[in-house]
Amino acid sequence: MLTSFALIFIAGLALGGIFKKIALPGLIGMIIAGVIMGPYALDILDDSLLSISADLREIALVIILTRAGLSLNLAELKKIGWPAILMSFVPASFEIGAITLLAPLLFNLTYIEAALMGSVVAAVSPAVIVPLMLRIKDSGYGQKRGIPQLILAGASLDDIFVIVLFTSFLTLASGGVVSAGHFLTIPVSIVLGILVGVLTGFVIGKFFTFIRMNHSIKVLVLLSTSFFLLALEDWLAGTIPLSGLLSIMSMGIVLNQLYPDLSKRLSGTYSKLWIGAEILLFVLVGTTVDLSYALSAGVAAVILVLGALVFRMLGVYLSLTPSTLNNKEKLFTMIAYTPKATVQAAIGGVPLAMGLASGHLIVTVAVLSILITAPIGAFIIEHTFKRLLERKQLN
């Protein structure tokens, strides 16, 4: 396992660095490193490491979402308002609807199986979007209208919405019954996630105020608390819906609101932690990609992924109608809301593992959505934000 960790970091750094040198996002190189070393290519990584790959990816997500929370200002989020709420479900709904209608025309699928496929593909990737938006935010671009903050807020809620729909469609595709009350878990999960995060952030802030401790210990306490919030989601699963990841981001926002100096120091440390976590996340995402699935899918699967993206971008455009964004800013937001990676890697294989006849095709389309949208989306984001967004001079 230690050798595998060494290979992940060295190969991830090397290929990530090479791609940056040729003006491409480093994460593309990291994903490619994972594909090459993963079980579907050279298969040189230890099985025991791959067995905990999902947990390691979740740790990396915790780090980047905490950092996002620590850098978000509540006043900025209030200023964004209604469009942020629309962004959390309208684009995903458009994409799921498009796949539900198009997939049966291209493949031998029922509408329920197509909807299940849509819910796998529709989730936007915080792992790709969050670090890019934080970098853009820190550079001062899009700050006049809070565009990076809008995308950060919408993306975190988008995943909750899509995953609840995925579990519902999976139950239906497996022959189960879904009640109308099941869909109430979406708002309940969001509200409870925010409330738990706010309470936790307040308690942690008071704890750090009254008990003196080394800054590094504060980081360890905050990380451990984040892991407990994720565990709380699992403990309550099936009884009380709660979003652990949203709680983590809310905790960071509260700390930033009440203790800005502490938040700034913690955010700096988390930025350093992200250097290693980023490599681990994207290389491990790459190990989940089976190129043979992608090659067997054919042109029809590519058409489906690209066609669904058009509808997603239309959903983003409609969500931004109440906003004051100009056309360039709307175009950037539409582009920035396309990358897929972590959710597809996490749930894409579930229908296949459950023995559904459509499982092989669903995981194939999930893999293709990663291969198409993550590198291309990241590339376009990095090469258009300076042209499409206004820069606010930083103090």
pLDDT, tens only, 196-236:
999 999 999 999 988 888 888 999 999 999 999 989 988 88
Which pLDDT belongs to residue 374?
86
The single-letter DSSP state of residue 75 is: H
Q: Write out pLDDT tens, residues 78-120.
A: 777 788 889 989 999 999 999 999 999 999 899 999 999 999 9
Residue range 239-250: mean pLDDT, rounded? 84
The single-letter DSSP state of residue 323 is: S
Q: Write out pLDDT tens, residues 306-324.
A: 999 999 999 999 999 988 8
What are the CA-CA distances from residue 296 to residues 42, 157, 293, 304 (Å)? 19, 33, 5, 14
- Say how far apart CA 139 and CA 252 lie, in whole Å: 21
Contact partners, residue 182, CB within 8 Å, separation at least 6: 164, 168
Residue range 242-271: mean pLDDT, rounded? 88
Do 286 and 33 meet the contact criterion of CB atoms below 8 Å apart? yes
Q: Which tops the pLDDT comparison, 171 or 276? A: 276
> What's the chain's average pLDDT?
87
Q: Which tops the pLDDT comparison, 86 or 393? A: 86
Residue range 321-333: mean pLDDT, rounded? 92
Residue 182 has pLDDT above 70, yes or no: no
Do 164 and 307 meet the contact criterion of CB atoms below 8 Å apart? no
Which pLDDT belongs to residue 97?
96
Q: How far apart are the first and last CA of the chain?
A: 45
Percentage with pLDDT > 90 across the chain: 36
Residue 395 has pLDDT above 60, yes or no: no
| Residue 180 CA to its chain's centroid (Å) | 27
Residue 394 has pLDDT above 60, yes or no: no
